Amino acid sequence: MLCHIALALLWLGLTAGAAPATAADTVAVVLSERGGVYAEFLDALNAGMAQSPGRRVVRLTGVAAAGEKIDEAELGDASLVLAVGAGAARALARMEGTPPVLSVLVPRLTFERIAAESGRRARPGSFSALYLDQPLSRQLNLLRFALPGRKRVAALLGPESAALAPRLRSAVSRAGFELQMEQVAEEGDIVPALNRLLPGTDVLLALPDGLVFNRNTARPVLLTTYRHQRPVVGFSQAYVTAGALAAVFSTPAQMGRQTAEFLRGLPAGRVTLGAPLYPSYFSVAVNRNVARSLGLDLPDEGVLREALEKAGEGE
């Protein structure tokens, strides 16, 4: 209830004194869930949109959670629909006749799967994304700056991340690293695969995959890498807290800021969306305890982030 009240007050603050918006100026927002990271994203989005009041209005239209129905009539009045999270993206991809849909807080592989399964891939101008995950080039640059001299990269792919294999090989080759990679089909395969991979490599590059890297597998993965004295470069703050050496990631607030900038830059009325984009804003986290236990001395997080910003996206 407090969350709903806070969102309502924020909405009133943003619209007070602004010129009335037409339907063509309205962005309809559909959340995957209430609260949590979705509320954090929405707060940052509204704060960013307040920098140009009256030009476009962001209107929370629905939640794609189980048992809640999205009001399709409200979507039809908007110039653009913002799908926040995979649940919302999946629900909107199945709807016909909606305005263009921009998905946010969705990893690239998840978005591509939703687009393919729904037939939206054939209509890219009406279905695009601001990806949640980082470009491979940025992750490899973090590895380069944090662990100079370590060239042999291990990667463990599961059913979801298997589609990354061609792009991963290409990105690793361009970056001047060597890649050893294995694919697993079930959780019981993970530790044996790591025991084969790690002795001949310098670092494990963790990539998002629901089978390989989750709450159940985090402990055995990190214990196995520690036994082999191999650092893990991850993809989230949570994984660094759990025991990975470092990660580059974008927070919901950073994604909300970028989304607001994107919306403010759109022309008036309905739009044709361009190709999906990677995050412009990101953070770097380092686990100093893990670094000390591995005998590593890493640069400060701010130094690493600045180096990544200067290196550019590259993908």
Total domains present in the chain: 2
- Structural domain containing residue 8: 2-132+252-264
Rounded CA-CA distance 20/253 in Å is: 27
Amino acid in position 96: E
Mean pLDDT, residues 252-281: 93
Half-sphere exposure (Cβ direction) of 164: Cα atoms closer than 13 Å = 27
Three-state DSSP state, 282: coil
Classify residue 116: in a domain, yes or no: yes
Q: Can you give the CATH number for the domain in which 82 is found?
A: 3.40.50.2300
- In this prediction, what percent of the chain has a pLDDT beyond 70? 91
Is there a single domain that holds both residue 199 and residue 219? Answer: yes
pLDDT per residue as tens digits for the range 283-312:
999 999 999 999 999 999 999 999 999 998
Rounded CA-CA distance 171/99 in Å is: 35
pLDDT per residue as tens digits for the range 185-230:
999 999 999 999 999 999 999 999 999 999 999 999 999 999 999 9
Classify residue 269: in a domain, yes or no: no
